[in-house]
């Protein structure tokens, strides 16, 4: 195994910031009380949690009491999808989602369909973007929820959620978006975007794993998925992960617009280098508004992305052959098929995802190594 890796799989997870690690270690050592307790140690932990809630909510232009902490994006998405339909009480039984959603949105929606709900799946255009007109056409009097992600985790394509949110608000339909990839990397104002529900998480922004949050607009009522001690507005029972939540708050504070601009510049440098070195390489969704750090690249002539990913790993370079949640599968990515790639093309596609910890030197070396391996397979 190489001594040092060039890590370019940040859409799957990110390296925690050292300052986040230090904060959490200090809390585990010195502030480990249960934040529901009324003694001094519990009160100190509760203050850390509520400070983080204020920080995270503020980044969304939300009120602190509109935010519940969860174990991550998957739990938050499930709470939103399953809860919204349950809250409809059988009066509305129709859900709209996009065909490029994360499995933690698609799978609960499919579970509801198996239980009798009606589900509409909207495909994106070739640019990876969901058309608001397609959502408008799919809306029905019995639509309980629309869920469209903010940025796709495989292509980085940003979705027009402001327009979609306005359509839903005008029709009285709950609107949810999964913003795990875009939070702190793109502007997110829940009021301007007409959002009722929004999912975010920590480990995609250099915070700890196992922590996320769900924004629930005041006035929206969801039933809990679990029963317990009534934590988090009664929606998320269980002892809170206080060090993780505090680390999440600090990670949000440390993520800036300037850092996102730096990552976007590295993304563009990488593509400029790779596209010159590999004739026929294609950047998927290149014409769409895209997140700063994700590139989906289809390479000509290679046997398959999985083998290329392994060869790069042996050289100390970490990329992926699609989303992390489909790792190990030989079937083509559903999101890539949805934007019009054929099965063979999807299986020749890699995802390169950058972070603020990457350097220009790393980017140039990664592009060079990917090009060398791709061109070797073609020859």
Give the pLDDT band of residue 3 (cuts 50, 70, 90).
low
- Strand order of the β-sheet with 174-178 is 67-70, 212-216, 197-201, 174-178, 143-147, 94-98, 118-122
Percentage of residues in the chain having pLDDT higher than 90: 89
**pLDDT (tens digit per residue) in 265-324:** 999 999 999 999 999 999 999 999 999 999 999 999 888 899 999 999 999 999 999 655
Q: What is the mean pLDDT of the chain?
A: 94
Q: Is 325 a catalytic residue?
A: yes
The dihedral formed by the CA atoms of 68, 70, 74 and 79, expressed in degrees to the nearest 10? -50
**Hey, how many other C-beta atoms are within 10 angstroms of the C-beta on 176?**
32
Count Cβ neighbours within 10 Å for each residue of 240-273 and write b for 16 or more, e otherwise.
Answer: bbbbbbbbbbbbbbbbeeebbebbbebbeebbeb
- Going 181 to 286 to 350 to 257, the CA torsion angle's sign is negative
CATH 2.120.10.30 fits 18-254, yes or no: no
Answer whether 186's CB lies under 8 Å from 108's CB: no
Per-domain residue ranges for the chain?
6-15+256-378, 18-254
* pLDDT score recorded for residue 225: 85
**pLDDT (tens digit per residue) in 91-100:** 999 999 999 9
Mean pLDDT across the stretch 53-72? Answer: 98
How far is it, in rounded angstroms, from Cα 322 to Cα 330? 11
How far is it, in rounded angstroms, from Cα 80 to Cα 196? 10
Return phi, psi of residue 237, to 5°. Answer: -70, 155
Give the pLDDT band of residue 1 (cuts 50, 70, 90).
low
**Helices marked H in 155-227:** 161-171
**pLDDT (tens digit per residue) in 18-47:** 999 999 999 999 999 999 899 999 999 999
> Could you tell me which residues come within 8 angstroms of residue 161 by beta carbon, excluding any fewer than 6 positions away?
148, 150, 175, 177, 193, 195
The CATH code belonging to domain 6-15+256-378 is: 3.90.1150.10
Percentage of residues in the chain having pLDDT higher than 70: 96
Of 31, 180, 318, 325, the catalytic one is 325
Q: What is the DSSP letter of 212?
A: E
């Amino acid at each position: 195994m190489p001594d040092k890796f060039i890590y370019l799989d940040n859409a799957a997870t990110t390296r925690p910031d050292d300052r986040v690690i230090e904060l959490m270690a200090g809390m585990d050592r010195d502030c480990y009380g249960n934040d529901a307790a009324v003694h001094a140690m519990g009160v100190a932990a509760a203050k850390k949690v509520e400070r983080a809630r204020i920080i995270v909510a503020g980044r969304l232009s939300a009120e602190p009491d509109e935010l519940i902490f969860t174990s991550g994006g998957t739990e938050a998405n499930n709470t939103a999808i399953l809860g919204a339909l349950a809250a409809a009480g059988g009066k509305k039984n129709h859900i709209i989602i996009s065909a490029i959603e994360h499995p933690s949105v698609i799978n609960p929606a499919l579970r509801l369909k198996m239980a009798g709900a009606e589900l509409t799946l909207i495909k994106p255009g070739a640019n990876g973007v969901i058309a608001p007109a397609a959502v408008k056409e799919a809306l029905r009097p019995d639509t309980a929820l629309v869920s469209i992600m903010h940025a796709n985790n495989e292509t980085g394509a940003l979705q027009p959620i402001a327009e979609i949110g306005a359509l839903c608000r005008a029709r009285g339909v709950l609107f949810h978006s999964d913003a795990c990839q875009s939070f702190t990397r793109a502007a997110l104002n829940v009021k301007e975007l007409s959002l009722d529900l929004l999912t975010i998480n920590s480990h995609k922004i250099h915070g700890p794993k196992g922590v996320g949050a769900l924004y629930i607009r005041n006035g929206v009522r969801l039933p809990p998925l679990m029963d317990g001690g009534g934590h988090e507005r009664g929606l998320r029972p269980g002892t809170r992960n206080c060090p993780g939540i505090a680390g999440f708050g600090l990670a949000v504070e440390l993520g800036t617009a300037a850092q996102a601009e730096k990552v976007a510049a590295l993304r563009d440098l990488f593509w400029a280098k790779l596209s010159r070195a590999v004739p026929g390489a294609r950047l998927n969704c290149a014409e769409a508004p895209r997140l700063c750090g994700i590139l989906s690249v289809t390479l000509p002539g290679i046997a398959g992305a999985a083998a290329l990913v392994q060869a790069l790993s042996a050289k100390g370079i970490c990329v992926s052959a699609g989303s992390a949640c489909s790792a190990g599968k030989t079937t083509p990515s559903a999101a890539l098929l949805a934007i019009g790639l054929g099965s063979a093309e999807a299986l020749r596609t890699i995802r390169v995802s950058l972070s603020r910890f990457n350097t220009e030197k790393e980017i140039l070396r990664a592009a060079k190594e990917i090009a060398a391996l791709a061109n070797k397979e073609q020859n």
